[in-house]
Structure 1
Amino acid sequence: MSDAKVEAAPKAKKNILLFAVIGLLVVLLIIVGGVAAFLLTKSSDPAADEVAAEATAREDVKKKKKKGKKEEHAAIFEKLPQFTVNLHSEEGDGILQTDISVEIADAQVAEKIKGQMPKIQGQVNKLLRSKTISEVKAVDGTDKLGKEIRELINKILHAESEEEGVISVNFTTFIVQ
């Protein structure tokens, strides 16, 4: 019986030693795998990492602005003075009289519009005078004219994106004679 106890003790030590070696190998494999994954995913060019991080940050800011404007934006309208211009065509001369209200992004844009009103009036007058009677009477003519006026005013206001400056142009009266 004493021989059996003597043989069992070395077997238990061998099992513990075997488990310890296997555990150590597993830990080493995990560490080596983690280091390898880190090195493979890390870019070799730090400047590229910075550019990618800046681009991601800019996109996040734009998304937040878009979300904020859509959620918080209550319609703000600014009425422009009435425009009366002469129109020319092959059939004869005519007159266009229109009232325009522009939907704007925020109250700051309203202040910019008021500050630039003489310039806006002059440019819109010029644009309206350049049109013919057939152009403004066409169904899609007013849509096209509204888009041109929007682009013109946004150019004067130095608006950079679709959500800045003038959002839409609305003709409240539109009389062609």
Structure 2
Amino acid sequence: MKADAKAEAAPPAGGGKKKLIIILTAVLVLALAGGAGAWFMLHGDSGDEHSEEAKPNKKAKKPAKKAGPPVYIPVDQFTVNLQPENGDQYLQLAITLQASSLEESEVIKTNMPKVRSRILLLLSSKHASEINTPEGKQQLSKDIMEAVNLPFENGGEPQEVSEVLFTAFIIQ
């Protein structure tokens, strides 16, 4: 009978194994959760785009532009009176704008009346002596680029015209 009493008094075998399995499972789950969290922090989508759409007061960002060949936008010819120096003179000018992407060129084409107005105001403020030298033409190109790159709307994004190319330039 002594053998039967010892069998009943001994704790059941395997209770320690269950605890060990539960602890190892919990550690494994926590490690996987931590690894997944770290991966999403470094590589995943933070969800900012979705929260930006829900907030109407936030200014929308332009989508990232794809690198590619430049896009050329021809602008109709201008004929303007220049500021008088030695009698009446006028400038006949044709230009092409270089934009960074198709999206940018579409924005500029859509706002072409504003682009032309800005350029006309700029050109009509010039004297012939200012723009008939190579340096004067380069400065005029920079001035046109600055005028075109101004935002079309208050608080809007500026344009990305990188070059103004003269295709016709006549002063009379």
- TM-score by length of structure 2 reads 0.57
* Structure 2, unpaired ranges of 5+: 1-63
**Matches of residues 17-166 of structure 1 in structure 2 within 5 Å?**
72-157=67-152, 158-160=156-158, 165-166=160-161
- How many Å separate the matches in 1 of 2:136 and 2:151? 23
Q: Deviations over 1:15-45 (max 9, x none)?
A: xxxxxxxxxxxxxxxxxxxxxxxxxxxxxxx
The offset of 1:102, in angstroms, is 0.6
The offset of 1:120, in angstroms, is 0.9
- TM-score by length of structure 1 reads 0.55
- How many Å separate the matches in 2 of 1:90 and 1:147? 23
- Maintained 8 Å contact 1:159/1:165: no
> Are 2:167 and 1:172 equivalent residues in the alignment?
yes
The offset of 1:90, in angstroms, is 2.2
SS at match of 1:81: strand
Q: Deviations over 1:113-151 (max 9, x none)?
A: 111111111110000000001011122011001101111
Two-structure CA RMSD over aligned residues (Å): 1.9
- How many Å separate the matches in 2 of 1:78 and 1:172? 12
The sequence identity of aligned pairs, in percent, is: 36
- Maintained 8 Å contact 1:84/1:95: yes
Q: Deviations over 1:41-60 (max 9, x none)?
A: xxxxxxxxxxxxxxxxxxxx
- How many Å separate the matches in 2 of 1:92 and 1:173? 23
Number of aligned residues = 106
The equivalent of 1:27 in structure 2 is: none
The offset of 1:95, in angstroms, is 1.1
- How many Å separate the matches in 1 of 2:107 and 2:124? 25
Structure 1 moving runs of 4+ over 4 Å:
157-160
* Structure 1, unpaired ranges of 5+: 1-64
Structure (1 or 2) with the greater helix fraction: 1
